[in-house]
């Protein structure tokens, strides 16, 4: 099991939780910068990512300057300690999970509860621990420049997605674009390249003889085409018919980039545009065999940690189908030149 402590940074004080001993401490930020932390002995240090960025103007979320953060990283390196960034947007989910595992009622949002909940979450789900980003001090302006192409590409995709949505994706209308034309021309071939489970998940239905698409898809009248359009739209520019390109390197993206930028499948990017929202909050939930809910107010609310694991596994399964669907379509479009 990973050996770690969790911390929450305030303007003047740092809250520390040691999972091994169940002890809580409050120390000054000056002590934390020097890593004068009680019981710290080769532990990894987990901090919400928003609290470990360089201070900008009068921000309340960041307490330290870039020079202080560089000092912190240097001290950690000299002590052989890793500092890992916990996604801030995941903390409410961690409190829910800790509430299910530790108590009957939902934990209130407090510094003490947050760091205890994060520790519980990472202990119960070590795969989440392994996905944490390593802290690296960087100025906001440098960070912004580094990721500017992500927002450029995401915004361009969202603009194209909204244009198609306003035209009902061409379903039962006269509207057409390059994505629609590709789907009409190659969807049956794509179906033949996919395994049956992925094809069923994507909603690509064949006739009884598997010799053609079902009429709704063949005639471009099925509502299932909305999701299919959304995926192909991340690969083809609907205005030109050419592969969609990354704005930083002017090349078609691979799955790793599409996964993060277009579909938002990373806890560090919760608001990733309309395509990501349509997938994560509609397709991934609606198409899941698991109907349990992380909403504690739902009648299908999770009752225990096994329920949470079932939800997580169902999400992973859906993401694997999306990956296989996307990679197969990309190969046809980019590598095989079917356009």
Please say whether the beta carbons of 264 and 280 come within 8 A.
Answer: yes
Q: What is the pLDDT along the chain (339 residues), one digit of tens a residue?
A: 789 999 998 878 999 999 999 999 999 999 999 999 999 998 999 999 887 877 665 555 566 788 888 999 999 999 999 999 999 888 888 888 888 876 656 678 888 899 999 999 999 999 999 999 999 888 777 777 878 899 899 999 999 999 999 999 999 999 999 999 999 999 999 999 999 999 999 999 999 998 999 999 999 999 999 999 999 999 999 999 999 999 999 999 999 999 999 999 987 766 678 898 889 888 887 666 666 666 655 556 777 888 888 888 988 999 999 999 999 999 999 999 998
Give CA 5 to chain center in angstroms. Answer: 24
Torsion of CA 111, 113, 118, 123, to 10 degrees: 140
Per-domain residue ranges for the chain?
4-138, 147-335
What pLDDT score does 62 carry?
63
Please say whether the beta carbons of 55 and 62 come within 8 A.
Answer: yes
Find out if CATH 2.60.40.1930 is the number for domain 4-138: no
pTM for this prediction: 0.86
* Cα–Cα nearest to 46, from 9, 11, 85: 85
Please say whether the beta carbons of 16 and 115 come within 8 A.
Answer: yes
Q: How far is the CA of 290 from the CAs of 267, 279, 309, in angstroms?
A: 21, 16, 11
Work out the number of other CB atoms within 10 angstroms of the CB of residue 79: 11
Work out the number of other CB atoms within 10 angstroms of the CB of residue 103: 10
Euclidean distance between CA atoms 81 and 74, whole angstroms: 10
State the burial class of residue 241 (Cβ atoms within 10 Å of its Cβ: 0-12, 13-18, 19+). Answer: middle
Please say whether the beta carbons of 35 and 79 come within 8 A.
Answer: yes
**Helices within the chain (DSSP H only):** 29-33, 66-78, 91-102, 111-124, 126-130, 140-166, 178-193, 196-202, 215-218, 225-233, 255-261, 274-278, 284-286, 305-330
């Amino acid at each position: 099991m990973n050996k770690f402590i969790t911390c929450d940074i305030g303007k003047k004080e740092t809250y520390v939780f040691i999972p091994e001993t169940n002890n809580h401490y409050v120390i000054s930020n000056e002590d934390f910068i020097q890593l004068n932390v009680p019981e710290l002995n080769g532990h990894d240090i987990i901090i919400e990512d928003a609290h470990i960025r360089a201070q900008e103007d009068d921000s309340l979320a960041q307490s330290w300057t870039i020079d202080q953060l560089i000092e912190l990283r240097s001290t950690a390196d000299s002590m052989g300690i890793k500092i890992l960034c916990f996604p801030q947007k995941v903390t409410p989910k961690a409190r829910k999970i800790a509430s299910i595992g530790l108590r009957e009622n939902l934990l209130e949002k407090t510094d003490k509860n947050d760091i205890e909940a994060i520790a519980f979450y990472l202990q119960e789900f070590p795969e989440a621990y392994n996905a944490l980003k390593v802290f690296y001090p960087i100025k906001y302006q440098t960070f912004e420049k580094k990721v500017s192409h992500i927002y450029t590409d995401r915004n361009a995709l969202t603009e194209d997605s909204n244009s198609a949505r306003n035209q009902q994706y061409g379903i039962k209308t006269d509207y057409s674009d390059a994505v629609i034309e590709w789907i009409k021309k190659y969807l049956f071939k794509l179906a033949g390249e996919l395994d049956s489970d992925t094809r069923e998940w994507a909603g690509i239905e064949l006739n009884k003889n598997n010799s053609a698409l079902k009429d709704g898809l063949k005639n471009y009248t099925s509502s299932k085409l909305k999701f299919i359009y959304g995926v192909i739209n991340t690969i083809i520019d609907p205005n030109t018919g050419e592969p969609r390109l990354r704005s930083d390197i002017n090349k078609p993206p691979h799955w790793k980039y599409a996964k993060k930028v277009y579909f938002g499948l990373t806890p560090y990017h919760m608001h990733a545009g309309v395509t990501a929202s349509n997938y994560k909050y509609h397709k991934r939930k609606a198409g899941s065999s698991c109907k349990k809910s992380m909403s504690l107010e739902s009648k299908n609310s999770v009752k225990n940690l096994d329920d949470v694991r079932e939800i997580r596994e169902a999400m992973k399964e859906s993401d694997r189908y999306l990956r296989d669907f996307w990679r197969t379509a990309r190969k046809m479009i980019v590598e095989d030149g079917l356009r």
